[in-house]
Amino acid sequence: MSQRLAALNLLLRFAVKPRLARTRGPEEAAREFARTAALILRRPPYLRHLERPGGLHWISAGACVPRRVILYFHGGGYITGSPYTHEGVMARLSKLARVEVCAPAYPLAQDAPFPAAFDAAVAAWRRCRALGYRPEQIALAGDSAGGGLALALLGWCCGQGEAPAAALVFSPWTDLTMTGESLIRNAQADPFLPVARIGELVDLVRGALPRDDPRLSPLYAEFPGCPPVMIHHSETEILADDARRMAARLRAQGASVGLCPHPDAPHAWPVFDGWIPEARQTLRQGARFLQDSFAATSR
């Protein structure tokens, strides 16, 4: 563990986690995260961010290979975040992979609970297809709740016979039935997320859907003809078992899965790129995976 990561974990544990535990509601959480992201989350030089019709944001930070795109879903527990709050991590991944990112501004749960976010993800996929991208020219990616949304979309794409080139996710939230043992095992070890608020969040997010609906909990989805998947997670986060069990389910259905645990990083640590070296290391690994996956589909 780097000294910067150790310092970040302390900051999250004693300043951010208690604040998350007492946040009054999703509107307040969204406002606070937007302010914090603007001040804290770093962005690479030469970032380009264009908002185009259909609620799609196109983000890059350098030269990109044409006719390839990363469809990236931001995290934030489905109640915070936007393509603007996460533009730094998206732009860095774009720069490293040399592939432009398309980031949908999917609706937050306080404005429209599920399946609205999933429907927006499908609409984003269809928009990319309408722009001329073939399935093998699109990779799915996301962090936290956005990682879960990317995997839910992956299941839908596989069911439609339109498997993308690959999927890359960081600390994905995949099981809103809350059956992962790490919710209990890592309740104290997790420096970032307060487990006491998870049940409340699930009830807000799911709307009328059952908690095991695959649009909401991709742990229960089917993935016929699944492309390669890379999953990064921290062994100390409360969602560790969401990642581990997701990898096991994908492998049981024939997918090639790279499960990449970090011993002590906070939840969704790549968003802290520019602050901790571990974030850049993980993004480089993910970028190489995407490059290799695109290369394999173009042969």
Going from N- to C-terminal start, the domains of the chain cover 3-297
Specify the pLDDT at position 265.
98
Whole-number Cα distances in Å, 155 to 158, 161, 171, 239: 5, 10, 18, 20
Give the Cα separation of 110 and 249 in Å (integer). Answer: 30
Q: What is the pLDDT of residue 142?
A: 98
196: left (phi over 0), alpha (psi -120 to 50) or beta: alpha
**Tens of pLDDT along 170-207?**
999 999 999 999 999 999 999 999 999 999 999 999 99
Closest by Cα among 197, 192, 183 to 14? 192
Q: Which fold has domain 3-297?
A: Rossmann fold (3.40.50)
Q: Which two tokens stand for residue 132?
A: 């001329």
Instruction: Please say if the pLDDT value at position 299 is more than 80.
Output: no
Asked if 144 is an active-site residue, the reply is yes
Confidence grade of residue 298 (pLDDT, cut at 50, 70, 90) = confident
- Identify which of 299, 276, 278 has the alpha carbon closest to the alpha carbon of residue 8: 276
Per-residue confidence band for 55, with pLDDT thresholds at 50, 70 and 90:
confident
Mean pLDDT of the chain: 97
- Calculate mean pLDDT across residues 90-115: 98
Report, as an integer, the average pLDDT of 83-100: 98
Q: What's the pTM?
A: 0.98
Would the pLDDT of 213 be above 80? Answer: yes
Q: Which of 60, 144, 171, 217 does the annotation list as catalytic? A: 144
Q: What does the pLDDT read at residue 27?
A: 96
- Spatial strand order in the sheet of 56-60: 48-52, 56-60, 100-104, 69-73, 138-143, 166-170, 229-234, 257-262
**Stretch 162-177: mean pLDDT:** 98
pLDDT of amino acid 161:
97
Q: Specify whether the CB–CB gap between 202 and 210 falls below 8 A.
A: no
CA-CA-CA-CA torsion sign (264, 234, 280, 31): negative
User: Tens digits of per-residue pLDDT, 138-158?
Assistant: 999 999 999 999 999 999 999
| Averaged pLDDT for residues 227-240 | 98
CA distance 274 to 44: 8
Q: What's the pLDDT score for residue 31?
A: 96
Nearest Cα to 153, choosing from 127, 177, 181? 127
